[in-house]
Amino acid sequence: MEVRQLEYFVAVAEDLHFGRAADRLHIGQPAVSQQIARLERELGAQLFDRTTRRVQLTAAGRRLLPAAKEALTAIGRLRATVVEPVDELAGTLRIGTSEGLGDRLDQVLDSMANQAPRLQVRLVSLPSAGRLDALRRGQLDAAFVRPAPQVTDLSTVPVWTETLVAALPATHPAAARSVVKLGDLADVPLRMSPREANPGLHDLLERQLESMEVEPARGVPIISVYDALAEIGTGDAAWTVLYSAAAEQLRVRRIAFRKLDLPAVQTVVVTPPGPQPAAVQLLLDTCLTAS
CATH topology for the 3-82 domain: Arc Repressor Mutant, subunit A (1.10.10)
What is residue 60's predicted lDDT score, i.e. its pLDDT? Answer: 95
Longest dimension (CA), the chain: 65
pLDDT greater than 60 at residue 291 = no
Residue extents of the structural domains in the chain: 3-82, 86-158+266-289, 164-263
- Least confidently predicted of 78-87, 183-192, 218-227: 78-87
Please, what CATH class does the domain formed by 164-263 belong to? alpha beta
DSSP string over 178-225? SEE-GGGGTTS-B----GGG-HHHHHHHHHHHHHTT--PPB-PPPS-H
Where residue 85 falls among pLDDT bands split at 50, 70, 90? Answer: low
**Percent of the chain whose predicted confidence (pLDDT) is above 70:** 96
Give the chain's count of helices (H) and strands (E): 10, 11
Where residue 81 falls among pLDDT bands split at 50, 70, 90? Answer: low
Please, what CATH class does the domain formed by 86-158+266-289 belong to? alpha beta
Q: What is the pTM (predicted TM-score) of this model?
A: 0.67
pLDDT greater than 60 at residue 82 = no
Give pLDDT tens digits for 152-190.
888 888 888 889 999 999 888 998 999 999 989 888 899
> 179-180 and 255-260 as β-strands: parallel, antiparallel, unpaired?
parallel
- Least confidently predicted of 83-87, 139-143, 244-248: 83-87
Residue 96 DSSP SS3 = strand
pLDDT greater than 70 at residue 131 = yes
